[in-house]
Amino acid sequence: YDSTENAGFNLGKPYSETTAQLIDREVRRIIDQAYDTARNVLKEYKEGFLKLANQLLEKEVIFSDDLETIFGKRQLAEKLLAELTNPEETSEHVG
User: What DSSP character marks residue 45?
Assistant: T
Question: Which SS3 state, helix, strand or coil, does residue 86 take?
Answer: coil
Question: Strand (E) positions, 33-75?
Answer: none
Q: Where is 93: in which H helix or E strand?
A: helix 87-94
pLDDT in the model for residue 93:
54
Instruction: Tell me how far apart the alpha carbons of residues 30 and 36 are, in angstroms, rounded to a whole number.
Output: 10
pLDDT in the model for residue 5:
58
Mind listing the pLDDT tens digit for each residue in 43-68?
999 999 999 999 999 998 999 999 99
For the ranges 55-59, 76-80, 82-86, the lowest mean pLDDT is seen at 76-80
Residue 10 pLDDT class (50, 70, 90 cuts): low
Contact yes or no for 56/62 (Cβ under 8 A): yes
Residue ranges covered by each domain of the chain: 17-94
Give residues with Cβ within 8 angstroms of 31, minimum separation 6: none
For the ranges 36-40, 54-58, 63-67, 88-92, the lowest mean pLDDT is seen at 88-92
